[in-house]
Amino acid sequence: MTYCIALRLDSGILFASDSRTNAGVDHVATFGKMKVFEHPNERVMVVLSSGNLSITQSVINILEQHRHADQGGPTIWSVSSMYDVACLVGEALREVQRRDGPHLAAGNIDASASLLVGGQIKGEDPRLFNIYPQGNFIEASADTLYFQLGEGKYGKPVLDRVITTATNPVDAIKCVLVSFDSTIRSNISVGLPIDVMWYPRDSLRAGVHKRIVEGDAYFSMLRQAWGTGLRRVFGELGNPDWMS
């Protein structure tokens, strides 16, 4: 399985993904389930993917080829809004499903895939979209400011308690890492490394990215401090009077 999350905050968009099932190709600006498309000072687009890896890799490849081949139609490098980018990602997903879906179905293999697409194109605010397996999508709003893919339930309670659109990026990163820790502890299918990328609003450049690997000192400290703190809070809770 997978755990990916993207949060659209007032100050930018935070992306994070695990990489346990990653059998992916490593090349510049691709890490784990996170793919960054950047045209500095003009547009930054980040795609997080979950589901069948052959499907999501093909989607990424189709989007990448937009850079090199002018097929006459709109591309993620030419369209003027993130909405249009989301449409193109959905179309790429449908194209791969048309090509590969029936063959996978014949082998009883789950061909479904979901993607999160966020970023900013000059002239627009940062935007974030959740692309469903059928290629349709929804956009994050002030009410629903984050999307998760895969094993999202374990790590959702801490997000729901801490994150608002006004949360600063450092707190958001800490909260997302705690959310990953909760998920990793309770579900063996999600694991390190974790890729984190912070896109600062209006920067129009790929922001800080960090790959957190096994033994990472900060993540180890965070896990331990959170666990200790949680047990301390738990120990301070009053007892119910109906239990003698």
By CB under 8 A, name the binding residues for its own copies.
Answer: 151, 153-158, 160-162, 169-171, 173-175, 178, 182-183, 185-187, 198, 208, 210, 218, 221-222, 225-227, 229-234, 236-243
Shortest distance in whole angstroms from residue 196 CB to its own copies: 9
Nearest Cα to 44, choosing from 212, 198, 210, 211? Answer: 198
Q: With respect to its own copies, which residue has the nearer C-beta, 142 or 234?
A: 234
Q: With respect to its own copies, which residue has the nearer C-beta, 65 or 218?
A: 218
Q: With respect to its own copies, which residue has the nearer C-beta, 107 or 240?
A: 240
Shortest distance in whole angstroms from residue 221 CB to its own copies: 6
Q: What would the DSSP string read from start to end of 52-107?
A: -HHHHHHHHHHHHHHHH---SS--TTT-SSHHHHHHHHHHHHHHHHHHHHHHHHHT
Shortest distance in whole angstroms from residue 88 CB to its own copies: 31
Q: With respect to its own copies, which residue has the nearer C-beta, 34 or 93?
A: 34
CA distances from 216 to 4, 24, 31, 193, 240 (A): 19, 22, 17, 9, 40
Q: Which helix (H) or strand (E) holds 217?
A: helix 217-236
Q: What is the DSSP letter of 186?
A: H
| Cβ count within 10 A of residue 15 | 26
Residue 86 CA from chain centroid, whole number: 14
Q: How far apart are CA 165 and CA 145, in angstroms?
A: 7
Q: With respect to its own copies, which residue has the nearer C-beta, 63 or 175?
A: 175
Q: With respect to its own copies, which residue has the nearer C-beta, 108 or 239?
A: 239
Residue 215 CB-density burial (10 A; 0-12 exposed, 13-18 middle, 19+ buried): exposed
Shortest distance in whole angstroms from residue 94 CB to its own copies: 26
Shortest distance in whole angstroms from residue 160 CB to its own copies: 5
Contacts of residue 78, Cβ cutoff 8 Å, sequence gap at least 6: none
Shortest distance in whole angstroms from residue 216 CB to its own copies: 10
